[in-house]
Amino acid sequence: MTDMEKDTAAESAPTHSGFVALIGATNAGKSTLVNRLVGAKVSIVSHKVQTTRAIVRGIAIHDNAQIVFMDTPGIFKPRRRLDRAMVTTAWGGAKDADVIMLLIDSERGLKGDAETILQGMKEVHQPKILVLNKIDQVRPEDLLKLAAAANETIKFERTFMISALTGSGCKDLMDYLAETLPEGPWYYPEDQISDLPMRQLAAEITREKLFLRLHQELPYASHVETEKWEERKDGSVRIEQVIYVERESQKKIALGKNGDAIKAISTASRKEISEILEQPVHLFLFVKVRENWGDDPERFREMGLEFPR
């Protein structure tokens, strides 16, 4: 078959589309995998756990299929109201998907939250696949034992062994999803990679830089909102964002000595937002104290979470 004939056959082939929910424990690598499969940064990635708070949809085209990945918050034992909202959101995302993809950190195996999630998936009735991540860190015989143990608990349609970091095994996973998702028209334009509004994506990027810069210094009681977005005549965009913290002591941490921390966060965030927008960005960050914002229903709506009573 000539290249022209192959192109014609591809164009006449039926299109597939559907939603794939990534479920897993915190730091299993869900956000890294979504970014890898989409081929662009659509989800916040950090060494800190519980950085994904709401469902982020990353959109990938593979062969004749449009695959919409739903990067859900890591499932863990909730302690605060925000924790409960994140876990509820994760399971809700699973129930809305065409395929459930359970991501397991191969190094940690079926311990703690991973075992709890595995048991919880018995209540989810959609087709399920198992994806073992970080396979380059584990011996092959241990991977086989892990896969066998998980499949004894849940009837998975298929098991894949991948590295989200290097991309190893990801093509086989994409091939399977493209063939498995239902026939039908695509949900989004071909060039769209996320359903996250740019204002919100920009806030997520700043929140990531906040985590990366401050490591263990600033607790999870921080939230970023994009308050102003102005397209300017010179082709640049002016963005004003507010970092909300709960106490004055946290504000000092976010600002840093002589404002060093906030300057570094702003520079890193501006650079990445500019690359995504492909236009110059003027970013202005402000830090405000809002006590107990974690109990404010409006903040939950801003994050795309349902406020738990």
Structure tokens at 283: 């970013």
According to the annotation, is 135 in a ligand binding site?
A: yes
According to the annotation, is 28 in a ligand binding site?
A: yes
- In whole angstroms, give the CA distance from residue 76 to residue 100: 18
Q: Rounded to a whole number, what is the distance in angstroms from the first to the last CA of the chain?
A: 61
3-state secondary structure (DSSP) of residue 39: coil
According to the annotation, is 133 in a ligand binding site?
A: yes
According to the annotation, is 263 in a ligand binding site?
A: no
DSSP summary character for residue 137: G
According to the annotation, is 25 in a ligand binding site?
A: yes
According to the annotation, is 72 in a ligand binding site?
A: yes
According to the annotation, is 258 in a ligand binding site?
A: no
According to the annotation, is 74 in a ligand binding site?
A: yes
According to the annotation, is 226 in a ligand binding site?
A: no
According to the annotation, is 134 in a ligand binding site?
A: yes
According to the annotation, is 195 in a ligand binding site?
A: no
According to the annotation, is 89 in a ligand binding site?
A: no
- In whole angstroms, give the CA distance from residue 214 to residue 261: 8
In this structure, is the dihedral angle defined by the CA atoms of residues 135, 141, 144 and 148, taken in order, positive or negative? negative
In this structure, is the dihedral angle defined by the CA atoms of residues 228, 214, 135 and 25, taken in order, positive or negative? negative
Nearest-10 Cα torsion for 168, 172, 176, 177: 30
According to the annotation, is 27 in a ligand binding site?
A: yes
According to the annotation, is 169 in a ligand binding site?
A: no
According to the annotation, is 294 in a ligand binding site?
A: no
According to the annotation, is 35 in a ligand binding site?
A: no
According to the annotation, is 167 in a ligand binding site?
A: no
Annotated binding site for GTP: 24-31, 71-75, 133-136
Annotated binding site: 24-31, 71-75, 133-136
